[in-house]
Structure formats: C-alpha cells, structure tokens
Amino acid sequence: MAAGGIKSGRYGRVRWNPSGTVASPMSLAAIASLNTWKLSMKTNKTDVTCFGDTNKVYVPGLPDISGSFGGFWNSSALELFTAAQDGSSPGLLELTPNDSADEQDFNFSGLGYLDADIDVSLDVPKVSGTFVAAGPWTLAT
Amino acid sequence: MNSSAILNALIAKLGADATLLGYMPNGVYEDNAPEGQGMTKFVIVSHVITNDVDVFGGRAYEDALFLVEARATVKSGGNVAAAAAEIDALLDPRPGASPSRATLDVAGYGLMAIKREEFVRNTERDEIDPTIVWKRRGGRYRVQMVIT
C-alpha cells in the first residue's frame, strides 16, 4: 500500500471568488487565517423496503454537497464576512487538502453559498462558516 | 521568527520602569540574578511554556506563559508587594488605567494580549544560607504574540 499520498493538513487551503466566475485558470483568493475545513458529500437515500424483504432496501437520490470551515478572526481579511453578507449570490469555492506543489491540483471546487459566524470570548476570537452547493462540484486530480 | 525575543522584550520593558527599579534596584533578569552579597532586591522573568498555534500554511501566533516575580530578602526590607503591583500595572493594566493596555515591541510580532493568569506569593529560606529568607511576589503572565 502506497502511503506517500498522505499529507499534512497544515498546508490546507480555502480559496474563494465572490463573482462566481468559473474560468480556466480559476481566479481565486485564499481566505486567510483558517485552520480547518470539512466537506460532506452525502447522497440522500430513500427507504423502499417492502413486505418480504429480508433487510432494509434503499434507493439513492441526489448527492449533496455541504461543509464548514473555521479559523481565527483577522481584521485584515474579511473575505468570509463579505461573502456571507452577499449571501444571495453564489461564489466559487475551492477546498484543497494540501497546497504543496505536487498536491495542490487535488482539490474540490464549485459554486456555493457561504454563511459566517464569529465567536468572541476572552480567548482569541474564532470564525466559522458553512457552505452549500449552488451548482455542480468537481474533484480535480 | 525569534521566539526568544519575546522574553527579552519583557525584561527590557520591566527593566526600563523607574518605579519598579525603585522597589527592586538590582534589576530584572532571566531565571537567575547574578551572585553577590548586594543582590537582595530584583525581578526574575522565567519562561514556562510556549504553544504555537497554526493556521493553514504556517504559525499564526505564539501563546507563551512567563513567571514574573519580585524577589527580596526579608532583611533588605524590599517591598515585593509594591513591586508585584507595579509589574501587574505594566503587564496587565486595570480598565481605566492610563495606558489601559500593555505594549510590547518585538520585531516580527504584534502583541495580541498580556494577562495575568495566576498570582504568586511565596516565602522561602535560601538553600545555601538558611539564615536568609526570601520573599517572592508576582504572577504567571500569558503573552500572546501574532506573527506579522
């Protein structure tokens, strides 16, 4: 088993283009001061179990794309809140597990709607956000 | 980044305060004061631990804890309580004080916050000369510095 493809998340990256323009190459800017992101790709399943079945049976619906990210409040980088403020128009979101030269082509991207939260306590203020798809998503490899 | 510069800046800040030096005229030192009979009233700054906090791509800030104590022999009459209060006024000013927030200039860093987390008060006998009794007063101060 080749484990060479396992990389550190320290060099993860979240990039965003508020205009939502999908072009090649994509014009994206990193959202600063983030240290976590999560993408969920789940397909809704409908229970179609019938009399006589010996186990539950499902049929798949459409795959869903959603996720979240988090980090620290940075007054010099307000992209996340600007995107959330403009929540009715989708932007282009790109999520990269590791942006090292040999890895940065592996990423997930697509149009999405962003929401943002800020959590301020006596500790360092933290930000978080969620997103849902606003169009088809791709996994670039 | 030179993480050592943070402790050096703390020593420089405390060592530049005339009021503190009035209470503790022998100066401010890292871990140990120089030996000598006249060394009876001084301030010690010791590094406890620094945690590095990352964001994607690298370190975002350093979260350090320092022990800062005024130390004086009982015989010297050194006022460690007043010295500790001055240390606290310099590093963790009360709301409404002027200035209301501490400053700390360190190349490559920006100050996020300094706050006292624990008050420290001890009396102990000198290990070499048990006739000497030391008073120690100060606190553990958390210093958070963002990488600039």
Nearest CB among B56, B112, B144 relative to A34 is that of B56
Closest CA to B73 of B14, B139, B130: B130
| Contact B127/A at CB under 8 A | no
Provide the mean pLDDT of chain A.
Answer: 91
pLDDT of B104: 96
Residue A50 domain-assigned (yes or no): no
Percent of chain B scoring above 70 in pLDDT:
100
Q: Specify whether the CB–CB gap between B115 and B142 falls below 8 A.
A: yes
How far apart CA A43 and CA A52 sit, in angstroms, is 26
Residue A3 domain-assigned (yes or no): no
Show the domain range for A94.
12-43+55-140
Chain B residues within 8 A of A13 when measuring between CB atoms: 56-57
Residue A49 domain-assigned (yes or no): no
A1 pLDDT higher than 70? no
DSSP state letter for A11: G
Secondary structure of A15-67 as H, E, C letters: EEECCCCCCCCCCCEECCCEEEEEEEEEEEEEECCCCCCCCCCEEEEEEEEEE
| Contact B61/A at CB under 8 A | yes
Residue A82 domain-assigned (yes or no): yes
SS3 A9: helix
Q: What is the pLDDT of residues B24-58, one digit of tens each?
A: 999 999 999 998 889 999 999 999 999 999 999 99
Closest CA in chain B for residue A13 = B56
Mean pLDDT of A110-136: 96
* CB-CB neighbours of A115 under 10 Å: 14
Q: How many domains does chain A have?
A: 1
Q: How many domains does chain B have?
A: 1
Q: Give A72→chain B minimum CA distance, Å.
A: 8
pLDDT of A2: 67
Interchain CB distance below 8 Å, A33 and B60? yes
Show the domain range for B67.
4-147
SS3 A10: helix
Which range, of A100-104, A114-118, B63-67, averages the lowest pLDDT? A100-104
How far apart CA A112 and CA B71 sit, in angstroms, is 60
**CATH code (residue B27):** 3.30.2000.30
Residue A78, CA atoms < 13 Å, CB-side half-sphere? 6
Residues lower than pLDDT 50 in chain B: none
Q: What is the pLDDT of residues A30-68, one digit of tens each?
A: 999 999 999 999 999 999 999 999 999 999 999 999 999
Q: Give A112→chain B minimum CA distance, Å.
A: 21
A21 pLDDT higher than 90? no
pLDDT of B138: 98
Beta strands at B58-73 and B41-55: parallel, antiparallel or unpaired:
antiparallel
